[in-house]
Amino acid sequence: MRKTWDIHGGIHPAENKTQSLQSPLGSVPLAPELVLPLNQHIGKPALPLVAEGEQVLKGQLIARADGPISANLHAPTSGIIQSIEDRALPHPSGGSGPCIIIASDGNDTWTELEPCADFESADRNLLLDKIRAAGIAGMGGAGFPTAIKLNPRGNLTIDTLILNGTECEPYITADDILMQTRADEVIAGAMLLRHMLGNPEQVLIGVEDNKPDAIKALNDALATADNKAIEVVPFPTKYPSGGEKQLVQILTGREVPAGKLPADVGVVCQNVGSTVAAYRAVRFGEPLVSRITTVVGEALETQRNIEVPLGTPIGHVLQHHGFNASKVARLIMGGPMMGFTLETANVPVVKTTNCILAPSAKEMPEPPPAQACIRCGMCAEVCPANLLPQQLFWYSMAEDLEKLEAHNIADCIECGACSYVCPSNIPLVQYYRASKGTIRQHAIDKEKSDRSRARFEFRQVRMEKAEAEKEAKRKARKLAAEAAKKKMAAKQAAGVDKPKVEKADVLASAIAQAKSQDLSPEDQLAKLERAANSARSRLEKTHARAAAAEGEKKDAILARVKDAELKVQDTERKLAKFIEQTQSASAAEASTDKQEDVESPEKQPAAEPDAASAAIEKAKVKAAAQASMTPAEKLQQQLDSLKTRVEKARARLEKAEADNDENVEAFRTGLEKMQAKYEKLTLEQTNSQNDG
């Protein structure tokens, strides 16, 4: 007989397992409505793939996993998606969450499945994908996605596979009846998982010795399979031997370090229910749509195990077991040690529902009020994780999260052994559970805070860098300006004896802006004319939109009409002012030149045409011509003018490229903008002609 080891602590509560084993495995009629929470596992909730009113078949994927630690969800029967809404959840918090509601059509019609008869020759990754797609999660109560456990990190060597058939919780016999009635599938599942894990040396099926019928059925099935690597290992009954780390120690003698997983010591552990579900997912292509659940308690006329579709309301299950509401003390999902009280029976059976317990007040009386801790130390003696429950209790009361983490509260499996033996009736597990939730939330908040701080610090660095670049540019401009001033002063000092003729201030003010922008008076005049024409065009278009608009939209456009009118007035004022300044400058220059001619008749140059006057006359002629032009003629004139400017800009760019000028990119950008504008005006002209 194989050697087993003992664990620290543990207790021996009343088992109460015979009540539900008096009847064979049964079932209940299909409920008219199934409620499927999107989160029936550890990790993120699944994402719905169906819509209200959609017809679905049994086994059809209705919600997909959201990330690696999540699980798919499938329709447990055929019917119509009635709604996707918040419903009460089977959770210790008693809260609600998003659920898919299916109205059953009563036909229970399967979708098309993809079986795999020869899984031993199939690729390991393909098998993993099948199990992941089937939505298999830990059915012993934890709800951890099975595919993740079957895919340990590449640097870990797995030499032992353990199937957990312990089921140490009082009242629960779901795994027991599974091993009795489907032992061949348990053995086939063990062979499948061994193949997927690279054929570890040993496969151990751990079963407490209080399940003789299950042990016999497994050994009979194993004899038929004739697989020497698989062994059924009975061991003494003690609660909580079914804890993952505790079972590893019992069967192998290896202790899993704090904060580590069984895979870190070469072991993978799976519940027998999850193993059978994985086998059926691979062999027959069946997703997880039902499970075996123990229905037990003195408030029921019938106590037994049933295979029930996921999503079946617990009230529907109780109704078909002779439930007496006046007799029940409280409804519990799970066992009396690790289960939790349900606020209502209108919650569904989910993947982790291994038991529905409806005890009478005599069977499970209300616990007496909690009293002060007397420091007896009994909680530490029975703790299977070898923790210090008393210290954890004090730190939980004080909300000292750092001390709780230092005392390894994360290793608490919430078995309830400490609460069971506490003479002061302190609900220790509830304190630990609440503190672990607070620690998880604190970690989430800290992660968010760290991300926000990182973003802020990055922004500060970016702003400081940008400011430093601006400051460097300012200093460079300042140095350049000072150098230019010195250069100008040197030039003036060198030419101090040369005769200079002072021009009128009015001329300097008229052409200073044009010179600063490297524009001739003619180019600046053309620029102002284009701005005026553009403003007039926008005003015409805004008037047209206002005429076509109605209601509040028309009021908004009329406000834009006013803005457009002001813009037209502003551009025309600037154009008139420039023409006036240019005329004044030309007159002053002519007067100055005449005076110079009188003073120095021997230096009089030959008469030259007045460029500014010519530009003014040209502008007057152009303005007079535009006054009588139609909009189409004005558009054609703008196109002709813009075409000429595009040709000039192209020639300037070509020259700059030939001279390897440092301003080539600026010239190219200017040419691209003018070409885009020319194409836009051409399109407007074409549309206008088509409308005509």
Residue 192 is encoded by which pair of tokens? 């499948």
Q: Which residue has the tokens 């086939």?
A: 188
pLDDT above 80: residue 652: yes
Confidence class for position 93, pLDDT limits 50, 70, 90: confident
Does residue 605 lie within any of the structural domains? no
Residue 1 domain-assigned (yes or no): no
178 versus 140: the higher-pLDDT residue is 178
Confidence of residue 258 (pLDDT cuts 50, 70, 90): confident
- pLDDT higher than 80, residue 495: no
Which residues constitute the domain of residue 584?
506-596+611-627
Biggest alpha carbon–alpha carbon distance for the chain = 137
HSE on the CB side for 5, CA within 13 Å?
13
Most confident of 148-162, 321-335, 574-588, 671-685: 321-335
Tens digit of pLDDT for each residue in 117-158? 888 888 888 999 999 999 999 887 778 899 998 988 877 889
Does a structural domain hold residue 277?
A: yes
Mark whether 427 and 377 lie in a shared domain.
yes
Same domain, residue pair 458 and 521: no
Q: Which of 146-155, 329-338, 376-385, 623-632 has the lowest mean pLDDT?
A: 623-632
178 within domain boundaries: yes
Residue 505 pLDDT exceeds 70: no
Give yes or no: residues 297 and 440 share one domain: no
Last residue of a domain, one of 337, 357, 377: 357
* Token couple for 255: 């202790």
User: How many angstroms separate the CA atoms of 628 and 482, rounded?
Assistant: 52
Q: Examine residue 30 and state whether it is found in any structural domain, yes or no.
A: yes
H helices present in 600-691, as ranges: 611-627, 631-659, 664-691
Going by pLDDT thresholds of 50, 70 and 90, the confidence category of residue 179 is very high
- What is the total count of domains within the chain? 4
Q: Rounded to an integer, what distance in angstroms lies between the CA atom of residue 263 and that of residue 249?
A: 13
Q: Would the pLDDT of 546 be above 80?
A: no
Whether 101 is in a domain gets the answer yes
- pLDDT recorded at residue 63: 95
Whether residues 125 and 222 fall in one domain:
yes
**Cα 110–Cα 112–Cα 116 angle in degrees, nearest 5:** 115
pLDDT at 666 over 80: no
Q: What is the pLDDT of residue 655?
A: 83
Mean pLDDT, rounded, for 621-644: 74
Give pLDDT, residue 417.
94
Q: Is the pLDDT of residue 625 over 80?
A: no
96: left (phi over 0), alpha (psi -120 to 50) or beta: beta
Q: What is the pTM of this model?
A: 0.67
Q: What CA–CA distance (Å, rounded) separates 417 from 556?
A: 73
Pair 538, 668 in one domain: no
The residue that leads in pLDDT, 593 or 184, is 184
DSSP β-bridge partners for residue 231: 204
Bigger pLDDT: 415 vs 545: 415
Q: Residue 99 falls within a domain, yes or no?
A: yes
- 3-state class (DSSP) for residue 476: helix
Cα 134–Cα 135–Cα 137 angle in degrees, nearest 5: 130
190 with 249, same domain? yes
Domain boundary among 470, 492, 526: 470
Q: Is residue 9 part of a domain?
A: no
CA distance 89 to 346: 9
Regarding whether 371 and 350 lie in a shared domain, the answer is: no
Q: Could you tell me if 641 and 571 lie in one domain?
A: no
User: What are the backbone angles phi and psi of residue 616, rounded to the nearest 5°?
Assistant: -65, -45
Which pLDDT band, with edges at 50, 70 and 90, does 593 fall under? low
Co-location of 137 and 203 in the same domain: yes
- Eight-state DSSP code of residue 353: -
Same domain for 623 and 634, yes or no, is no
With pLDDT > 90 as the criterion, what percentage of the chain qualifies? 58
For residue 591, name the pLDDT band (cuts at 50, 70, 90): low
User: How large a percentage of the chain has pLDDT more than 70?
Assistant: 89
Give the pLDDT confidence score for residue 663 in this predicted structure: 75
* Same-domain pairing of 344 and 371: no
- The pLDDT, as a whole number, for residue 673 is 83
User: Is residue 97 located within the same domain as residue 199?
Assistant: yes
Using the 3D structure, point to which of 357, 378, 398 is the last residue of a domain.
357
Specify the CATH number for the domain of residue 100: 3.40.50.11540
